[in-house]
Amino acid sequence: MFKGPVPPIVPFSMGSLGFMTTFYSEQYRECLKAVLRGPISITLRHRLQCHIIRDKARHDYKTEENTLVLNEVTIDRGISSYLTTLECYCDNSFVTCVQGDKLILSTTFGSNAYSLAAGGSMIHPQVPGILFTPICPHSLSFWPLILLDHVTVRVQVPFNSRSSAWVSFDGKGRKQLEAGDVLVCSIAPWPVSTACQVESTHDFFTQHP
């Protein structure tokens, strides 16, 4: 989408599932007239900005280009038969070593998507934060977390990992993470603003199923 500031968006429902699409496409003329006539309420939907630091390029201080994510980043084991092993840090603090099928880092807007299906919490999109949701973790005491919006999350494939991992951004741009590679995620400074049918909280509880 937009790599910088985002103009207001009027989202229309074109299918059967949409937590952001509060306007019906069949009524687009009336909806656009109402939006242009104003006034309207706006929902700010935070995004994640992510980049990969390759272990091979670490000493060159090189990072890959930032990728902006509206819903979630997923890290999985790909075709490997081994569990994904991921060392996770919040700022400079070690959080846990995840062993499981997959890890989801989600925006609060994306909390209604893959993270929710994996047992994560549903959160109002204007609540800033990062969701940390494991899928099938090999632990009885590991639960989904909700992190503060100002933290930086780092996920590293351990140097002694028996397999690589794979990361995808909103289901696209799939990339391989080798041992020592690090994925860095934080809240992007430019949220996506979407027009409300009524206002943010009303639309959140009455959005299309």
Question: Which tens digits make up the pLDDT trace of 71-120?
Answer: 999 999 888 888 888 999 999 899 999 888 899 999 998 888 888 888 88
Q: What pLDDT is stored for residue 157 in this prediction?
A: 94
Supply the pTM of this predicted model: 0.84
Average pLDDT over the chain reads 86
d(CA 169, CA 192): 16
Q: Are residues 90 and 139 in the same domain?
A: yes
Local confidence band at 1 (pLDDT 50, 70, 90 cut-offs):
low
Q: Are residues 183 and 87 in the same domain?
A: yes
- Own/partner pairs for 145-153, CB < 8 Å, 24+ apart? 145/95, 146/121, 147/90, 149/46, 149/187, 150/187, 151/90, 151/91, 151/186, 152/90, 152/91, 152/184, 152/185, 152/186, 153/88, 153/89, 153/90, 153/105, 153/184, 153/185, 153/186
Q: What is residue 204's DSSP assignment?
A: H
Query: 120 and 75, same structural domain?
Result: yes
Domain encompassing residue 173? 48-187
